[in-house]
């Protein structure tokens, strides 16, 4: 037993109770009815940071949701770690598929079940408790800053502006983020890449109002039929995205790096079994991990129009819509991609309908080096705790603000995630194993220790 595991053992239940307090706040950023909950979650974080031993913590107002900032500066000559996390969560629907209520956390089979249990309340809380541990045991080896936002799940619009306005306040030597995953429970891993994202909404309009499908059927173009056809044309038979110019800026990954990435353990059978599919799908010439790690993708997130209620209603709908997200790789620009999509999609529209494309939000992709002090520190911390060396891998997910941190603050992020694919983030029955929560709290203080060591090596 070390001072780390001793402290965790002595405070286990309280850590969990405090995390549950945060989870119980339904801070869904995409739904305006939850505005008051965003503030409650920010207040909760402020108190958490202060109670853990910060010198100060403040809530910063933005045009959107508040940002929580806190710090403990022990010596300005020492390096500074900036912790980033988000207190906002995704909507809970389809709510009827949850086995327990999404905002009443419950422990079953050693896992916390709740919206935000992993993404990102459970994961970010690891940092609050690791910070507390270091302060209370007198082992904090450097300065710490916290920056916790409430708009990650909707594109981090306010944080982008706030970072640009607060560069001095955010001065730091590394940003640490736990909002990604590991390859598997027994395969610790460090995320070295994130995909960018570009989100759009499309609307296809036909007649001025819904029409009787008997009186007009066969004589007037149906916007739902047309939207389906347009969407179907966005991929070719090899799984390639057909938006003109889509691949122009894709950073191709060389054979050597592909070989390196292929070393990360992966079982196609288990993958298929875990989501109950018979066959995988994707761009010809790439493996499943390459398809999510180093290649872009286009997916419809939702599609609606016409009558979807009980029984039948024989109409030709006046309109049809869809939400589409494009996952991007380094070098692809999300604004340019949204523009390419817009002109391509508009060009697909037949004369019978009008098409409107509205870009929503997005962010650039990210790759992190593995020869940096922070990677070495994370590598040592994870190896020591797991007894196994971590595997670097590129994740298919996106955290739009990470590339902004690099551009605006000039600071790299280390993506030390503790989530598992089975955590069902964004899905019903999201969960987070207690063991990952506590193990995270064990790893983070070691990361700080090794980061300060690696950092001073680099300076001397």
Note the residues at the interface with Zn ion (CB under 5 A).
119
Q: DSSP per residue over 283-314, as a string?
A: -TT--HHHHHHTS-EEEEEEEE-S--SSS---
DSSP class of 396: S
Q: Which of 64, 85, 102, 155 binds ligand BES (CB under 6 A)?
A: 155
Q: Which of the choices Zn ion, ligand BES, none does residue 181 contact, using the CB cut-off of 5 to 8 A by kind?
A: ligand BES
Q: Which of the choices ligand BES, Zn ion, none does residue 395 contact, using the CB cut-off of 5 to 8 A by kind?
A: ligand BES
CB of 295 to ligand BES, least distance (A): 16
Nearer to Zn ion, 2 or 97 (CB): 97
Answer yes or no whether residue 153 interacts with ligand BES by CB under 6 A. Answer: yes
Nearer to Zn ion, 34 or 449 (CB): 34
What is the distance between the alpha carbons of residues 91 and 29, in angstroms, rounded to a whole number? 8
Nearer to ligand BES, 220 or 424 (CB): 424
Answer yes or no whether residue 402 interacts with ligand BES by CB under 6 A. Answer: no
Residue 88, CA atoms < 13 Å, CB-side half-sphere: 27
What is the distance between the alpha carbons of residues 377 and 383, in angstroms, rounded to a whole number? 10
The stretch among 16-24, 61-69, 152-160, 216-224 that binds ligand BES (CB under 6 A) is 152-160
Q: How far is CA 218 from the centre of its chain?
A: 45
- Which residues does 254 contact at the CB level (< 8 Å), separation at least 6? none
- Residues 7-66 touching ligand BES, rule: CB under 6 A, are none
CB of 418 to ligand BES, least distance (A): 11
- For strand 67-72 and strand 56-60, is the pairing parallel, antiparallel, or unpaired? antiparallel
- Which residues does 43 contact at the CB level (< 8 Å), separation at least 6? 59
DSSP class of 263: T
Answer yes or no whether residue 398 interacts with ligand BES by CB under 6 A. Answer: yes
Nearer to ligand BES, 118 or 374 (CB): 118
Q: What three-state secondary structure class fits 260?
A: helix
The stretch among 95-103, 149-157, 219-227, 335-343 that binds ligand BES (CB under 6 A) is 149-157
Site string for ligand BES, 176-205 (x = CB under 6 A): ---xxx------------x--x--------
- Which residues does 219 contact at the CB level (< 8 Å), separation at least 6? none
Supply angle C-alpha 260, 264, 267, rounded to 5. Answer: 135
The count of residues interacting with ligand BES (CB under 6 A) is 17
Nearer to ligand BES, 54 or 154 (CB): 154
Site string for ligand BES, 358-397 (x = CB under 6 A): -------------------------------------x-x
Helix (H) or strand (E) holding 202: strand 196-205
Answer yes or no whether residue 399 interacts with ligand BES by CB under 6 A. Answer: yes
Q: DSSP per residue over 400-446, as a string?
A: THHHHIIIII---EEE---B-GGG-TTSTT-EEEHHHHHHHHHHHHH
CB of 407 to ligand BES, least distance (A): 17
Q: Which two tokens stand for residue 226?
A: 């047309």
Q: Which two tokens stand for residue 440?
A: 């995270």
Site string for ligand BES, 243-282 (x = CB under 6 A): ----------------------------------------
Residues that bind ligand BES in the complex, under the rule CB under 6 A: 119-120, 152-153, 155, 179-181, 194, 197, 395, 397-400, 419, 425
């Amino acid at each position: 037993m070390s001072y780390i595991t001793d402290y965790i053992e002595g405070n286990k239940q309280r850590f969990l109770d405090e995390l549950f307090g945060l989870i119980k706040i339904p801070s869904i950023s995409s739904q305006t009815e939850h505005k008051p909950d965003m503030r409650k979650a920010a207040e909760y974080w402020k108190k958490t940071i202060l109670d853990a031993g910060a010198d100060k913590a403040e809530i910063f107002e933005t045009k959107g949701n508040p940002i929580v900032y806190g710090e403990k500066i022990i010596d300005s000559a020492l390096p500074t770690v900036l912790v980033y996390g988000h207190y906002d969560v995704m909507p809970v629907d389809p709510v009827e598929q949850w086995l327990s209520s999404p905002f009443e956390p419950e422990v079953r089979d050693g896992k916390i079940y709740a919206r935000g249990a992993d993404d990102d309340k459970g994961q970010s809380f690891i940092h609050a408790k690791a910070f507390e541990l270091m302060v209370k045991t007198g082992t904090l080896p450097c300065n710490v800053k916290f920056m916790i936002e409430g708009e990650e799940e909707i594109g981090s619009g306010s944080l982008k502006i706030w970072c640009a306005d607060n560069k001095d306040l955010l001065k730091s030597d590394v940003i640490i983020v736990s909002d990604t995953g590991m390859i598997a429970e027994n395969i610790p891993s460090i995320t070295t890449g994130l995909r960018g994202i570009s989100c759009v909404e499309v609307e296809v309009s036909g007649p001025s109002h819904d029409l009787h499908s008997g009186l007009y059927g066969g004589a007037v173009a149906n916007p739902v039929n047309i939207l389906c056809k347009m969407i179907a044309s966005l991929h070719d038979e090899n799984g390639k995205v057909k938006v003109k110019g889509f691949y122009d800026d894709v950073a191709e990954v060389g054979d050597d790096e592909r070989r390196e990435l292929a070393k990360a353990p992966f079982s196609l059978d288990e993958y298929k079994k875990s989501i109950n599919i018979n066959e995988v799908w994707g761009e010809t010439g790439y493996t499943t991990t390459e398809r999510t790690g180093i290649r872009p993708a286009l997916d419809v997130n939702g599609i609606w129009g016409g009558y979807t209620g009980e029984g039948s209603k024989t109409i030709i709908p006046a309109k049809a819509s869809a939400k589409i997200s494009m996952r991007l790789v380094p070098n692809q620009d999300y604004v340019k991609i949204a523009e390419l999509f817009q002109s391509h999609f508009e060009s697909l529209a037949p004369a019978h309908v009008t098409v409107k494309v509205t870009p929503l939000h997005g962010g650039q992709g990210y790759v992190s080096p593995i020869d940096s002090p922070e990677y070495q520190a994370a590598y040592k911390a994870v190896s020591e705790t797991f007894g196994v060396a971590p595997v670097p891998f590129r994740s298919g997910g996106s955290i739009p603000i990470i590339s902004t941190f690099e551009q605006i603050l000039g600071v790299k992020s280390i993506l030390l995630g503790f989530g598992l694919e089975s955590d069902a983030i964004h899905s019903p029955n999201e969960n987070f194993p207690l063991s990952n929560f506590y193990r995270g709290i064990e790893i983070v203080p070691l990361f700080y220790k090794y980061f300060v060591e690696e950092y001073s090596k680099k300076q001397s």
